[in-house]
Structure 1
Amino acid sequence: MTENTKLLSEEQREELLSTLKERFEKNMNRHEGIEWAKVKEKLDANPEKLWSLNEMEITGGEPDVVGYDQETDEYVFYDCSPETPKGRRSICYDREALEARKKHKPENSAMDMANEMGIEMLTEEEYRELQTLGEFDKKTSSWVQTTANIRKLGGAIFCDRRYDTVFTYHNGADSYYGVRGFRGSLRV
């Protein structure tokens, strides 16, 4: 893979497709009525999306199909790892928050990482939708897209699942914790 093209080698492509197919078949409850052959057809036609899915995979996201948007003719993938992806933890919310930190800066921010990976950070609504497909973030938490009015005041929101309930909380956008990362989505 080259940095400029963001394309996978044939070997990486085949390995990723095999992993995605296996996960798809193991978790049919996440995508009832959707056929793998049609998903693969879309993936084959969009190699840059495969690169983004690979980024989701190598950072621990375990991406899987969670729906199909008939209006846009796109399959929707979310990170479906049991806990927030390990390769995306200990990060603050966005670039502004990262630059505002004077000491002990994290290595990156959730918004920057999502942009670099070519994915979107989940919204609170999408996060809650994900939680209807299983139990996620029982020990970790995930930043979610934050409205401009909250962000303007220095805050950001995150979600987790505790006591069999999905909670939404707030924190300073510049905060970061070893158990907080973010989950992403990708449309193909």
Structure 2
Amino acid sequence: MTNKISNKKELSLEQREELIGALKARFEKNMHRHEGFEWAEVQAKLDANIEKLWSLNEMERTDGEPDVVGHDKKTSEYIFNDCSAESPKGRRSICYDREALESRKKHKPENNAIDMATAMGIELLTEEQYRALQKLETFDRKTSSWVQTPSDIRELGGALYCDWRFGHVFLYHNGADSYYGARGFRGSLRI
């Protein structure tokens, strides 16, 4: 997988059917992530919001393995998060944001988490969302994922990331311009 984003923001009928098939199979295989939810209701939401399928496809294409992890009763939106066991392969080796990318003089990564998420039409998980995801099952045992960073930390050059080690979620800091082969980001999409 590459961490470049497709410029074409429409899916063919065949691509839509393939994506929905993959999402349905993942949904049915992982009912512990969304107990009490019915696929038919999720499918109806997807059918009514086909413009969001492109973003879900980008999550899938970059190895995020998106799945339903919640439902917002106020807005009636289903919440999809990346549920790959490790930080998505197609979104690793990237720094936090454009400012961090541009500040690097040597060995610049190809991209950054904030721009990639924006281009994909998704949002980085917050620390709270990351912790909630980890309550569903264990993720990032060998990798780590950038999370949304408060502006006061970012203004000082830092950025936050999380992982799962020793039976706990850990929140760490690093220079926003750092990047590692085992660090990417997890995204969220509401439909």
Identical aligned residues as a percent = 73
3-state SS in 1 of match to 2:152: helix
Which residue in 1 is equivalent to 2:101?
98
Which residue in 2 is equivalent to 1:32?
35
3-state SS in 1 of match to 2:142: coil
Which residue in 2 is equivalent to 1:180?
183
Amino acid at match of 1:102: K
The separation in 2 between residues aligned to 1:150 and 1:98, in whole angstroms, is: 17
* Residue-by-residue CA offset, 1:101-144 (whole Å, 9 max, x unaligned): 01000000000000000000000000000000111000000000
| Runs of at least 5 residues in structure 2 that lack an aligned partner in the other structure | 1-5
Moved over 6 A (4+): none
CA RMSD of aligned residues (A): 0.9
Find 1:168's aligned residue among 160, 168, 171: 171
| Residue 12, structure 1, aligned to residue 15, structure 2 | yes
- Size of the alignment, in residue pairs? 186
- Name the TM-score, length of structure 1 as normaliser: 0.97
3-state SS in 2 of match to 1:66: strand
* Residue 3 (structure 1) shift: 3.7
Which residue in 1 is equivalent to 2:111?
108
3-state SS in 2 of match to 1:132: helix
* Residue 47 (structure 1) shift: 1.3
- Name the TM-score, length of structure 2 as normaliser: 0.96
Which residue in 1 is equivalent to 2:3?
none
| Runs of at least 5 residues in structure 1 that lack an aligned partner in the other structure | none
